[in-house]
Structure 1
Amino acid sequence: MGFLAFIILGLIVGAIVKAVMPGKVGGGWVTSIILGVVGAIVGGWLGTLIFNVDLGSFFNIKTWLLSIGGGLVVAAVYGAIRGRK
């Protein structure tokens, strides 16, 4: 998957994470979209590291599940760091 596909995937994952964790992710939609892009990258990295499963094509279910999982992890970490202020 190319860089542009990661950006598009991250935008969609950010919207999904915002819908799943509405009270947990602060900062509005822009923050959620950025966290979604980072989550897609982190999800792909963790999938390769832990499950030995790489990201497939854009329309592959593994890609979406890993990206959403990574987005939730990144959003939870962001919420934990932001909540410590």
Structure 2
Amino acid sequence: MLFLLRDAFSIRLNFLEIGVFATLICAVDPVAVLTVFEDIHVNELLYICVFGESLLNDAVTIVSLENVLDFYSRESRRLV
């Protein structure tokens, strides 16, 4: 989405930069929620569910980042 809207907002990022940003930012939200949950002492089961989602998000982030970097390196080699 950011790649498609980059001209509308005068964003000067290439596909690699946008892909890396997108994959890294997707894992941040559950970490912030877990921090708030610790502060307000929420139900343990809810905390465990969000923690599990956070672990899954981390795994998806790693795989997504590897895919973006692999795609970019293949495109670079093809253009050379």
- TM normalised by structure 1 equals 0.37
Which has the larger helix fraction? 2
- Greater Rg by CA: 2
- TM normalised by structure 2 equals 0.39
